[in-house]
């Protein structure tokens, strides 16, 4: 019996939040949020306990991005004119020479901006994150034939690799620093559906749409910020 199998997969992944909230500042709780599509790729190893259950783990590289829109960016003179303009959850880069401030366009009287430059309206703040993901999941075979169907459940551990914050205005992106409220290690609860096609007793094609609900990715968020990841994982596996 070939109990071991190796999976290689790649996926488009989508990142967003289930609730209305912000990881940047309370003033952006009601701002429009735009999840973006990125990629994940990796390798898993599985062990079949019997004909129905398989336990698997592995490692993947995961890239995520998420935009907060309807933001006004400006260079303030001296101290920020409004305490809310300070992005408390962003540590600005050491080479930042401008005193960049940000306000929600929903809550702003433009004349109150203390700036020596024209403000950038309809700008966005973009969070870019990359993780190393280590899942621990169980597959349950619902249909076990040439075409297989599985229910997949488990959790993932995420190890933070990179964390960057950008401002975006008129297709220009500027790096300003990194978020200071992203946990270096976090977890998710995973639920997915596996659809496999067996080319041979050892070799098969895998298709797995999966939902991952992040449990503690951030600290000090505002509102009901509950991030999630949706991925459609495709690849091949080999039994040995």
DSSP the chain: ---EEEEEEEEEEEEEESSSEESS-GGGTTS-EEE-EEEEEEEEEEEESSSSEEEEEEEEEEEEEEEEEEEEEEEBSSS-SSGGGS-TTEEE-TT--S-EEEEEGGG--GGG--BSS--EEEEEEEEEEEEEEEEEEEEEEEE-SSEEEEEEEEEEEEEEEEEEEEEEETTEEEEEEEESSB-SEEEEEEEEEEEEEESSSSEEEEEEEEEEEESSSBSS-EES--EEEEEEEEEEEEE-
Per mean pLDDT, which of 74-78, 111-115, 231-235 is the most reliable? 231-235
As a whole number, mean pLDDT of residues 77-102 equals 67
Residue found under tokens 């079949």 = 48
Per mean pLDDT, which of 66-70, 84-88, 197-201, 230-234 is the most reliable? 230-234
pLDDT at residue 87 in the model:
78
Domain boundaries, the chain: 4-66+130-239
Least confident piece of the model among 70-74, 112-116, 201-205? 112-116
pLDDT at residue 84 in the model:
47
At a CB cut-off of 8 Å and minimum separation 6, what does 126 contact? 65, 66, 67, 68, 165, 166, 167, 168, 173
CA distance 222 to 214: 16
Residue 8, pLDDT > 90, answer yes
As a whole number, mean pLDDT of residues 208-219 equals 96
Per mean pLDDT, which of 11-15, 111-115, 143-147, 217-221 is the most reliable? 11-15
CA distance 214 to 234: 22
Q: Supply the Cα-derived Rg of the chain in whole angstroms.
A: 22
pLDDT at residue 216 in the model:
92
Average pLDDT across the chain, whole number: 88
Tokens describing residue 58: 């592995």
pLDDT at residue 116 in the model:
46
pLDDT at residue 83 in the model:
45
Confidence of residue 96 (pLDDT cuts 50, 70, 90): low
How would CATH label the architecture of 4-66+130-239?
Beta Barrel (2.40)
Residue 100, pLDDT > 80, answer no
pLDDT at residue 158 in the model:
98
pLDDT at residue 218 in the model:
94
Confidence of residue 169 (pLDDT cuts 50, 70, 90): confident
CA distance 145 to 183: 42
Confidence of residue 122 (pLDDT cuts 50, 70, 90): confident
> pLDDT of 42-85, one tens digit each?
999 999 999 999 999 999 999 999 999 988 877 765 554 454 45
As a whole number, mean pLDDT of residues 93-104 equals 72
pLDDT at residue 215 in the model:
94
Give the global pTM: 0.88
């Amino acid at each position: 019996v070939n109990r071991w199998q190796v999976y290689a997969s790649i996926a488009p992944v989508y990142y967003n939040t289930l609730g209305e909230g912000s990881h940047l500042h309370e003033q952006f709780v009601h701002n429009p949020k735009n999840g973006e599509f990125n990629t994940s790729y990796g390798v898993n190893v599985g062990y079949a306990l019997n004909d129905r259950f398989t336990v698997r783990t592995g490692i993947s590289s995961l890239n995520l991005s998420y935009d907060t829109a309807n933001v006004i960016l400006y260079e303030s003179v001296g101290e920020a004119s409004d305490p809310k303009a300070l992005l408390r959850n962003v540590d600005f880069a050491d080479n930042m020479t401008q005193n960049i401030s940000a306000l929600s366009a929903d809550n702003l009287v433009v004349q109150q901006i203390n700036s020596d430059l024209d403000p950038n309206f309809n700008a966005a703040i973009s969070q870019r994150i990359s993780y190393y993901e280590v899942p621990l999941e169980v597959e349950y075979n619902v249909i076990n034939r040439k075409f297989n169907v599985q229910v997949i459940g488990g959790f993932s551990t995420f190890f933070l690799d990179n964390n960057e914050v950008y401002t975006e205005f008129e297709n220009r992106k500027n790096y300003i620093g990194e978020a200071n409220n992203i946990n270096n290690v976090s977890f998710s609860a995973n639920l997915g559906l596996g659809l496999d096609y067996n080319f041979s007793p050892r070799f098969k094609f895998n298709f797995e749409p999966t939902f991952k609900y992040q449990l503690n990715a951030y600290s000090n968020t505002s509102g009901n910020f509950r991030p999630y990841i949706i991925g459609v994982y495709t690849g091949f596996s080999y039994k040995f």
